[in-house]
Amino acid sequence: MEPTDRVVHTQEEWRSILTPDRYEILREKGTEHAFSGEYEDHWEDGVYHCYACDLPLFDSTSKFYSGSGWPSFSQPVSADAVEEHEDFSHGMTRVEVTCARCDGHLGHVFGDGPPPTGLRYCINSLSLKFVPR
Ligand code: FE
Residue 34: predicted pLDDT: 98
Enumerate residues with CB within 5 Å of ligand 1 (an ion): 50, 52-53, 55, 99, 101-102, 104
The superfamily (CATH) of domain 3-132 is Peptide methionine sulfoxide reductase. (2.170.150.20)
The one-digit pLDDT tens for each residue of the chain (133 residues) are: 788 899 999 999 999 999 999 999 999 999 999 999 999 999 999 999 999 999 999 999 999 999 999 999 999 999 999 999 999 999 999 999 999 999 999 999 999 999 999 999 999 999 999 999 9
Distance CA 133, CA 127 (A): 19
If you measure from the C-alpha of residue 81 to the centroid of ligand 1, how many angstroms do you get, rounded to a whole number?
9
DSSP conformation class of 61: G
Q: Exactly one of 50, 99, 102, 122 is catalytic; name it.
A: 122
If you measure from the C-alpha of residue 57 to the centroid of ligand 1, how many angstroms do you get, rounded to a whole number?
9
Nearest to 96 by CA among 110, 88, 84: 84
Q: Decide: helix, strand or coil at residue 102.
A: coil
Q: Is 102 annotated in the active site?
A: no
Q: How far is CA 99 from CA 67, 71, 91, in A?
A: 24, 16, 24
* Strand ranges, E, within 1-133: 46-50, 56-59, 63-64, 72-73, 82-87, 94-99, 105-110, 120-123, 128-132
If you measure from the C-alpha of residue 84 to the centroid of ligand 1, how many angstroms do you get, rounded to a whole number?
14
The model's pTM is 0.96
If you measure from the C-alpha of residue 87 to the centroid of ligand 1, how many angstroms do you get, rounded to a whole number?
19
